[in-house]
Amino acid sequence: MSPVRASPQTIQEAAKRLKAGKLVAFPTETVYGLGADAANGRAVAALFAMKGRPRFNPLIVHAADAAAVERYALLDARARRLAEAFWPGPLTLVLPLRPQAPISDLVTAGLSTIAVRVPDHPVARALLEAAALPIAAPSANRSGGLSPTRAEHVAADFAGEPILILDGGPTVHGLESTILDASKEDIVQLRAGAVPADRISAVLGTAVRREPAHETRPLSPGQLASHYAPRAAVRLEATAVMPDEALLAFGGNVPSTCGPQFNLSPGGDPIEAAANLFAALRLLDAQNVKTIAVMPIPEHGLGEAINDRLRRAAAPRNGTVLA
Ligand code: TXA
Ligand code: MG
């Protein structure tokens, strides 16, 4: 289905579809999500099938507010502090699953924890309110591919599939949420994302530990070495461009090239670069080049999450794990 512009009417229609067990793609402030009623096992199974996603990978449950989250998860004082500081917003918390929570086992992959977040996007919020459901939503792309930051990206990935796509324009952050495991004594960052680690450390009063992927069970798809991958090969830390390459630039001092190029942020702003990242990779990938050469991007702030996605886009595509 082609995207429809989000309006009170189309949001009502989307809510009706979710309640009927159908799938709906919708914008969040990070990337577009492909949503299903998290309580409906058949709907969630259809979602896994449509994405081509390995079954063992659990999904993030989106809720309207922290009070709704309490119906599915157990929040301790630390979790409440994080929720207060960052919700609504691009932080996902992995928390103990509330016993008897009305959530399909497929969503949690049978774990005793659940990943939850309260999105900060007017369309996502209106949809959650209209549907009055917990919405399980991975990024709305085929498994392993680039996350969608525009409704057209979703339409391109799922052409011909019977899903309603709500168009809310380009997403603000352009990167997925930061994932924190707050289900154990030590809080651990499982995925770098739109909230930089230093902001989380400031709220917690301690540095956030990053967990190497191989210590994490289950394996998050965002921890597979090859993920967020365009069709073209990706070459990092490029300071010059070969004849058959496209250039993904950052900042000034751009190496000269006659081939396709996109500058993520001519002024060197990591926030602008994050917002442009996936759309730029898709654009360059559509030029049918063999390789996308990527200029170095400083690691501080959002640079951590941007470089994480780029390293995975560049990794060998054989399912190995990247720490
Ligand atoms: O920004 C986002 O988070 C977007 C938007 C749509 O909200 N969603 C998103 O979902 O990126 P997805 O499915 O692409 O990534 C969810 C990540 C996966 O790496 C998954 O393994 C991890 O969350 N996850 C989910 N539940 C978990 C759990 N109980 N324990 C550990 N990791 C979990
Ligand atoms: Mg994803």
Q: How remote is the CA of residue 290 from the centroid of ligand 1, in Å?
A: 30
Give the ligand with the smallest distance to the CA of 179.
Answer: 1
Q: Average pLDDT of 40-57? A: 84
Query: Which among 5, 30, 2 has a CA at the least distance from the CA of 166?
Result: 5
Strands 245-249 and 233-235 come out as: unpaired
179 in contact with ligand 1, CB cutoff 6 A: yes
Q: What are phi and psi of 96, to 5 degrees?
A: -60, 135
Pocket test for ligand 1, best of 23, 44, 48, 59 (most atoms within 8 A of CB): 59
SS3 for 67? helix
Give the ligand with the smallest distance to the CA of 177.
Answer: 1
Average pLDDT score, the chain: 92
92 in contact with ligand 1, CB cutoff 6 A: yes
291 in contact with ligand 1, CB cutoff 6 A: no
Q: How remote is the CA of residue 35 from the centroid of ligand 1, in Å?
A: 12
- What pLDDT band is residue 45 in, cutting at 50, 70 and 90? confident
Strands 113-117 and 60-62 come out as: parallel
Atom 22, ligand 1: which residue's CA is nearest? 220
CB within 8 A of 209, min separation 6: which ones? 186, 187, 188, 189
Q: Tell me whether residue 1 is exposed, middle or buried, using C-beta atoms within 10 angstroms of its C-beta: 0 to 12, 13 to 18, 19 or more.
A: middle
pLDDT tens-digit map of 195-211 = 999 999 999 999 999 87
Q: Which atom of ligand 1 is nearest to the CA of 177?
A: 1
**Count of CB atoms situated within 10 Å of the CB of 288:** 10
Residue 216 has pLDDT above 80, yes or no: no
Query: Which among 149, 163, 140, 154 has a CA at the least distance from the CA of 14?
Result: 163
Q: Which atom of ligand 1 is nearest to the CA of 30?
A: 1
Task: Assess contact for 174 and 154: CB atoms under 8 A.
Answer: no
58 in contact with ligand 1, CB cutoff 6 A: yes
Q: Which atom of ligand 1 is nearest to the CA of 62?
A: 7
Structure tokens at 67: 């009070």
The DSSP string of 83-143 is HHHH-SSSEEEEEEBPTT-S--HHHHTT-SEEEEE----HHHHHHHHHHTS-EE--BSS-T
What DSSP designation does 52 have? T
pLDDT on residue 41: 86
Strands 245-249 and 291-294 come out as: parallel
261 in contact with ligand 1, CB cutoff 6 A: no
pLDDT tens-digit map of 105-140 = 889 987 899 999 999 999 999 999 999 999 999 999
195 in contact with ligand 1, CB cutoff 6 A: no
Q: Which atom of ligand 1 is nearest to the CA of 111?
A: 29
Q: Which atom of ligand 1 is nearest to the CA of 194?
A: 1
What does the alpha-carbon distance between residue 215 and residue 52 come to, in Å, rounded to a whole number? 25
pLDDT on residue 303: 92
pLDDT tens-digit map of 148-186 = 999 999 999 999 999 999 999 999 999 999 999 999 999
Question: Model-level pTM?
Answer: 0.88
- How far, rounded to the nearest angstrom, does the alpha carbon of residue 169 sit from its chain's CA centroid? 16
Order of strands, sheet of 245-249, starting from the edge strand that comes earlier in the sequence = 233-235, 291-294, 245-249, 261-263
What does the alpha-carbon distance between residue 156 and residue 158 come to, in Å, rounded to a whole number? 6
The DSSP string of 240-260 is S--TTEEEEE-SS-PPP-SS-
